[in-house]
Structure 1
Amino acid sequence: MLVDKVAEILAETAAEVIEPRFRALADGDVSEKAPGELVTVADREAELIIAERLRGLLPVPVVGEEAVSADPSLVKAVCSEPAVWLVDPLDGTGNFVAGRPEYAVMAALIKDGETVAAWIWQPTTRLGYTAELGGGAWRNGERLRRAPAGGGPAALRGVVLSRFMPPDLRTAVDARTGGIGTLAPGSRCSGVEYPRVAEGDQDFTLFWRTLPWDHAPGSLLVTEAGGVSARLDGDPYRVGRDVEGLLVAADEESWQQVRRELGLRPVDLA
């Protein structure tokens, strides 16, 4: 079964080249691929292994985060090819380098621009999340069903990731967070944030930068669990739409409440 085989590939690759380096990175194992953007030998080795093994299951192009970093034109395959694999070999690299446990290995299968299957593996928790379009969301074989949050904005628990917002918008959003019940600082790892919404540990997450390998897997997980993942104009998340801003929530009512409380409007995306 494809879902099980991909899950095995992610877990096995993590065990081979990522986990042995956790809190054991050597001098020269870490570098900057862009200002403030870290990459390690574990990221690069894991991507090569995962890509080769995924092509063995289904011989379509692989769009990996590190490959795109070296050649940005490769990301065009997400929209131009009938099917592609998306791979984030080590989501939360900054946490990994710092020795924090919030990191993940992620993949998604995209067909005609739509995410049809998704995988998230968290090595430190040993939790594996999978989702299939129309087939539900799962954690270690257990079905995930996200209940509505309820209770209004003052009861909501969530995360506002404003780091990449334009400064004026960030200031405006930060000034309006007082109407939200509980705000957490966030994990700096999409492979942790999305499962937290899907499982009910938090009710929403607001992202700004929306690179496809960061969001395709988790968006499908949340929506198949019963939640919402949509751009700030209300359109459901879809890879290839180059628009910043993505709000993920437990349910439609909570999604609307958060957008209203934070003063987020489609015009902000212009």
Structure 2
Amino acid sequence: MDKVAEILAEASAEVVEPRFRALAAGEVMEKAPGEIVTVADREAEAIIARRLHELLPVPVVGEEAVSADPSLALALHDEPAAWLVDPVDGTANFVAGRPEYAVMCSLVRSGRTVASWIWQPATATAYCAELGSGTWRDGVRLTRPPAPKDVAKLRGSVKSRYLDAAHRRRLQDNIAAFGEISPGRHAAGIEYPDVVDGRFDFLLYWRTLPWDHAPGSLLVTEAGGVSARPDGTPYRPEAPGCEDGLLVAADPETWELTRSILLAG
């Protein structure tokens, strides 16, 4: 566990952090409509993928590699084990000079996330989780305390960008019951730790790219929370294209309560 954390922090220090608020002309590109990538994303992924493969020689499913060759994501289901890598989560924040970005990876075995790591460069904070062994922040084990029982005191983030207009309108009507709804931090590697640390009580996503959600989902569930599809199916990393929704909450009771209100109608 410690070795993987070192790999992420060292790659970040080598090629990501030196470019924060210092990206040169031509170092930011559009890889798809509305999706940007930087040289830091690509260089960090190359370093992390090589070193992870040396540590455990199984396929590496990296966000940028899959962008070039989508078939690489099939390893999540076709191979007994695979690494998942998000070299710069929150690229738009990174490009804009906002500190809410992270470097993340997970280990997937038989289609299930068994270990995950999140490095937040701006605060030099390391989170990790191992299936059945707990969640840790900088070496301190974390347990998420229960969220408030009063719906009006619950704080969360709701992402509606990928919903159709009718579902978005219904969702906007439903969120009025909650105490505080935020558009989020625009980086899963910041938002999931926010649930574990108590800053958010729940998160609702629709599109769930595996490198974005596998690390944080394990972080939350190993701290006592829930990460599940709206039908209650526990989260499993899926190849890009899955838009079945994902509700994350501080504890099982909050998950059930939040689902009953957010997804009503």
| TM-score bracket, shorter-length normalisation | over 0.9
Q: CA offset at residue 167 of structure 1?
A: 2.1
Structure 1 position 264, deviation (Å): 4.7
Letter of the 1:254 partner, please give it.
T
1:258 and 2:221 correspond = no
253-262 vs 134-143, greater mean Cα deviation? 253-262
TM-score in terms of structure 2 length: 0.97
Match of 1:214 in 2: 212
CA-to-aligned-CA distance 1:152-182 (integer Å, 9 cap, x gap) = 3111011001112222211210121110111
Secondary structure, aligned partner of 2:181: strand
Written as runs of structure 1 = structure 2, the 5 A alignment for 1:92-241 is: 92-240=90-238
Q: How many residues align?
A: 263
Question: Which shows bigger deviation, 256-265 or 246-255?
Answer: 256-265
Q: Secondary structure at the match of 2:207?
A: coil
Structure 1 partner of 2:70: 72
Residue segments in structure 1 that go unaligned for 5+ positions in a row: 266-270
* 1:213-258 Cα deviation digits (max 9, x unpaired): 0000000000000000000000110112735200000011111111
Unmatched 5+ residue regions in structure 2? none
Structure 1 residue 39: deviation in Å?
0.2
> 2:162, 2:80 → 1: CA distance?
31
Q: Does the CA-based 8 Å contact 1:180-1:261 persist in structure 2?
A: no
Sequence identity percentage: 64
- 1:23 CA drift (Å): 0.3
Structure 1 position 262, deviation (Å): 1.5
Which residue in the other structure is 1:42 paired with?
40
Partner of 2:85: 87
Separation (CA, whole Å) in 2 of partners of 1:75 and 1:159: 28
State the SS of the aligned residue for 1:69: helix
What RMSD, in angstroms, separates the aligned Cα atoms of the two structures?
1.1
Partners of 1:94 and 1:244 in 2: CA distance: 24
Q: Report the secondary structure of 1:176's partner residue.
A: helix
1:268 aligns with: none
Counterpart CA distance in 2 for 1:263 and 1:228 is 16
CA distance in 1, matches of 2:207, 2:3: 30
